Chain A
Amino acid sequence: MNPAGVTAMQLGLQSCEACGLLSRPAPGEEEGRCPRCDETLAFRKPGSLQRTWAYVIAAAICYVPANLLPVLTTTTAAGADSDTILQGVVLLWSPTGWPLSLIVLIASIMIPSAKILALGYLLITVQRGSAQNHEQRIRLYRMVKFIGRWSMVDVFVDTFTAALVQLQPLMSVEPASGLFFFAAVVVLTMLAVESFDPRLIWDSASAREVRHA
């Protein structure tokens, strides 16, 4: 067999995600343990697709209240006023403040929805055994992994705004119920990325190469 186009799984080898060591499991065993760092090993992350789907669906459900419920309540002498994430973006929009408004719009609204869609696309193409666009799909996976953490920015904005603006009885700002769901979307999509095994994207390519060999 040509060693240039062979995967570790095809040769019955497992590589360790923690330390990178390649090793051979006991005959007939699906799961093993890394002899160097003691990490449990498998050819592919166990239950990767099911777990990723579970996180993505949970994130999609939380995405609705995250955007419909208010994240901040501002109390002034004139009364209480609640803002959702989108209203916060609009409020921040001004001739000088628009770059920051844009940051919040991208980080809080566009990135979480794009992440859910991108993960859904990766999951569906893997399940269908798609043998196309491997390079684009792995690039999409890396982008989702890299960019996901920045969605947390709105959680920090609201945390520190609420902690600081405590000028009772003139004005005070408190976190509202939407913040919990928004934080849940961020955490759930991050967990989804962590549980997805990118090697699944390439398995259709590997199978094909061997058939042609």
Chain B
Amino acid sequence: MRRADWDLVIANLHNEPLSDGSLIACLHCDLLQRLPDLAPGGSARCTRCDKELWRRREDSLNRTLALSLAAAVLYVIANSVPMLGLSAVGRQAFTTVLGGAEHLWGNGRETVAGLVLLTALVAPALQIGFMLAIVVAARRKRPPRWVGTLLRHHPTTCTWSMIEVMLLGVLVALVKIADYATVIPGVALFVLGVLVFLLAGIQASFDPREVWNRVEWAESARRAGAAEKIAEATS
């Protein structure tokens, strides 16, 4: 294929960006509006449906990196030490998050065990891991292409990560069991409590728009890839 043909294929693959980058549409009501230039800490809301369009965070990358690092450490601790113990009639038993899912699995509730595993272990790990990778890579002069891919999927990991819900569930279970046995709150319980606040802190300090403004565009990456192929074919 000639170079002009490749350009045509790529042009049809991707939408054409607008020349004015400050024009956006609200994702909740589709109203077209111009995003003002905000001072750090300022926020802009949709004039029709009041959705927050953008909140500019102060020192976003550094703060998010610090919080994500702390969250990663706490996540590892929370899942390697006992979370909840029980002592009755001279016997003691301890369990972790993984232990809870394992027990369900062993009792023929594989689907529910899978869901617990996803929402309490896998999704939080991806949420923290993605965020760490994004902020580390976004600090480079030219952030690599995969930063955009991770950032695109990060909201999904947040939707299914339910550490705070699990913590409430554990507390209710603890009170329930306290009626007929002595419960021993494990170290992991307190670590999880701190982790919930750290995850909220990450949400409050991260500014995805700042990273989106720096990533390499999918369109230009594909154009470069096509140029390479042409060079290969013609050499």
Residue in A20, A39, A163 whose CB lies within 8 Å of B100: A163
CB proximity of B91 to chain A, nearest CB, Å: 7
Residue of A nearest to B154 (CB): A18
Contact flags (1/0) for A145-173 with B, using CB distance below 8 Å?
Answer: 00001101111111111111111001100
Contact flags (1/0) for A198-210 with B, using CB distance below 8 Å?
Answer: 1101110010000
Residue in A92, A174, A199 whose CB lies within 8 Å of B28: A199
**Count of A interface residues, CB-CB < 8 Å:** 75
Answer yes or no: A17 CB below 8 A from chain B CBs: yes
* Interface SS of A by simple majority: helix
With A22-B23, A24-B18, A162-B107 as known contacts, state yes or no: A156 contacts B148, CB within 8 Å. no
The CA of A142 and the CA of B51, in the complex, are separated in Å by 10
With A103-B168, A149-B162 as known contacts, state yes or no: A7 contacts B25, CB within 8 Å. yes
The CA of A8 and the CA of B24, in the complex, are separated in Å by 8
Structural contact, B91 and A160, CB atoms closer than 8 A: no
Answer yes or no: B133 CB below 8 A from chain A CBs: no
Residue in A9, A37, A142, A153 whose CB lies within 8 Å of B148: A37
Structural contact, A13 and B116, CB atoms closer than 8 A: no
CB proximity of A35 to chain B, nearest CB, Å: 4
Structural contact, A162 and B104, CB atoms closer than 8 A: yes
8 Å CB contacts to A: which residues of B90-127?
Answer: 91, 93, 95, 99-104, 107, 109, 111-112, 115-116, 119-120
Contact flags (1/0) for B162-181 with A, using CB distance below 8 Å?
Answer: 10011011111101110011
A interface list, Cβ under 8 A from B: 3-9, 11, 13-15, 17-26, 32-39, 41, 91-92, 97, 100, 103-104, 134-135, 138, 141-142, 149-150, 152-167, 170-171, 174-175, 179-180, 183, 187, 190, 194, 198-199, 201-203, 206
B interface list, Cβ under 8 A from A: 11-18, 23-25, 27-32, 47-51, 84-86, 88-89, 91, 93, 95, 99-104, 107, 109, 111-112, 115-116, 119-120, 148-149, 151-152, 155, 159, 162, 165-166, 168-173, 175-177, 180-181, 183, 208-209, 212, 215, 217-219
